[in-house]
A and B are shown apart, each in its own frame.
Chain A
Amino acid sequence: EKMPAYKVYYFNARGRAEPTRLLLAAAGVPFEDVRFEVEKWPEYKPKMPMGQAPVLEVDGTMICQSAAMARFVARETGRAGKTNLELAKADMIVDGVADLMNAMANYHYYEPDEARKAEKKKTFFETTLPQFLGHFEKLLVANNGGDGFFAGDGLTHAETFFLCLYESISKENPNVLNAFPKLTALVERIRTYPGIKEWLAKRPQTEF
C-alpha cells in the first residue's frame, strides 16, 4: 500500500507544528517540512482552510488545527491508543497542554502592557503551571504506575504535545519538573524514542 505524501506547513519554528512533526518522526514517515518566512505568509494564508498555520497536507487534502493534525497522524500511524477510552485519555492531556500553551501565548504575545505581562507570567509559573503538572503527574501514575505513557501502553500525541510544552517551559525554568519524578522520566523516554531521538538531533534549531 502506497504511503500518503505528507506536508507540514508552518513558520520556521517548533510552535504548534512540532507535536505533529514528532509523531511523523516517531513513525518513520517521511514528510515535506515546509517552513516559510513571516513575509511569505500572506502568499500561503488564502490557501489554508482557516487562514492559519500549521496545516497538514495529506495527498492534497489540508487539515488545520494542531491537535486535529496530530490526532490524524497518531491514528494513521497506530499511536492513538488501542481503544476509544485510551484515545480520550490521550486527548484530555492534549487539551490540558493546549490550555497551558494558550495561557503562555496570552501573556507572551497578546498582553501589550509590560507590568500586566510580568504579573501574568508570574502567576503562570508560580500557580497555574505547577497545578497542572501535578494533575499530569497524577494521571500518568494512574496509568500502570507512571513508568510508561499517559494512555494505554504506547506513545501517543499526548506525549508529543507534552514534550513541546516541556521545551517551552524549561527554557524559562530548567527546574520546572523537579517536583514531578514520573514526568521527568517521561520526558527522557520521549526524547530517546526511536525516530524522535534522530529528529531532535537533526531538526532546525529555532528559538520557539
Chain B
Amino acid sequence: MPSYKLTYFNGRGTAEIVRLVFAAAGTEYEDVRLEQDQWPELKPNTPMGQLPILEMDGTMLCQSNSIARYIAKLAGLAGKTPLDQARVDMVMDGMVDMGNKFAYEIYYEKDEDKKAEKKKDYVEKYVPQFFSSLNKLASDGGYFAGDELTLADIAFYNMTTMVNPYLEQPLSLDGFPKLQKVEDNVTSNPGIAKWLKERPETPY
C-alpha cells in the first residue's frame, strides 16, 4: 500500500473532509500540520499554490474534494454504481456550495448590519430549503447513496459542523429525520467516532 501524506495547516478547514474519509476507511496516513511560516517555502512546489495536498508514491494531488473522492473511491466509500457515484458527487458539491455561501456572504462580510441580515436569511430561509432538498435525497436509513456510508454522508456531517460554531445555535435537523439519521450514521462509524475523540482541538 502506498504511504499517504496529507499536508494542511493546523486546523480542520478544507482538509477535514479528507481526514474523515481516511478515518472511515481505516487507512493510515501522515497528518502534517504546517505553521504559517513554513508555507511560503512549500507553496511554489504545490500543484495550485494551495493546501491541502496529498502526496503518495511521488505524486501530488490538490483540491480537497478531488483528494477526498480519490481516497473514498479506493476504500469503496464513493458509491457502488455510476448513478450512486453521481449522487455522492452532487451531494458533496451541494455541501461545498452551502459552505461557500456562508463564507462569501457572511464570514467575509464586513458590514455588521448586512452580516446579521444575511445570517438570518441563511439560517431561516436558505438552509431549511436546502436541507429539505437533501432530506428528499437521503434514504430512510440515512444514506445519500446506496444503503451504506459514503463520502456524501461524511460531507454533510463535515460541512454542517464546520458552519455551526459561527452561528448563534447549531443548525437544526428538526423536520429532517433522514438527515438526523445521516449524521448518526457518520458519527457512529467506528473509524470516524475514534477520530472525533482523538483529533486535535483547533480554532477552525
Residues of A within 8 A of B (CB): 49-51, 58, 61, 63-65, 67-69, 71-72, 75-76, 84-85, 87-89, 91-92, 94-96, 102, 106, 110, 131-132, 135, 138-139
Interchain CA distance A49-B144 in the complex, whole Å: 12
Inter-chain contact A65/B90, CB cutoff 8 Å: yes
A135-B94 CB under 8 A given contacts A67-B89, A72-B85, A92-B66:
no
Which A residues touch B63, using CB under 8 A? 91-92, 95-96
Contact of B70 among A50, A84, A94, A139 (CB under 8 A): A84
Question: Among the interface residues A50, A65, A76, A110, which one has the most CB atoms of the partner chain B within 10 A?
Answer: A50
Name, among B83, B89, B133, the residue most crowded by chain A CB atoms within 10 Å (CB to CB): B89
> Told that A50-B133, A92-B67 touch, could you supply 18 new A-B pairs with CB distance under 8 A?
A63-B86, A65-B94, A68-B92, A68-B93, A71-B86, A72-B83, A84-B74, A85-B59, A88-B66, A88-B70, A89-B61, A91-B63, A92-B47, A92-B48, A92-B62, A95-B63, A110-B104, A131-B49
Interface members, chain B 48-80 (any A CB < 8 Å): 48-49, 59, 61-63, 65-67, 69-70, 73-74
Q: Is residue B87 contacting chain A, with contact meaning CB distance below 8 A?
A: yes
The size class of the interface chain B forms with chain A is 20 to 34
A68 & B48 in contact (Cβ 8 Å cutoff): no
Residue B130 CB within 8 A of the other chain: yes
Residues of A within 8 A of B27 (CB): none
Residues of B within 8 A of A (CB): 47-49, 59, 61-63, 65-67, 69-70, 73-74, 82-83, 85-87, 89-90, 92-94, 100, 104, 129-130, 133-134, 136-137
**Contact A63–B82 (Cβ < 8 Å):** no
Contact: A51 with B65, CB < 8 Å? no
Shortest distance from the beta carbon of B104 to any chain A beta carbon, whole Å: 7
CB distance from A37 to the nearest CB of B (A): 23
How many whole Å from B72's CB to the nearest CB in chain A? 10
Could you say which residues of chain B place their CB within 8 Å of the CB of A95? 63, 65-66
Considering the complex, give the chain B residue whose CB is closest to the CB of A63.
B86
| CB atoms of B137 and A91 under 8 A apart | no
Whether A71 and B89, one on each chain, are in contact in the complex, defined by CB atoms closer than 8 angstroms, is: yes
- B62: chain A residues at CB < 8 Å are 92, 96
Q: Across the interface, which residues of A come within 8 angstroms of B73, CB to CB?
A: 84, 87
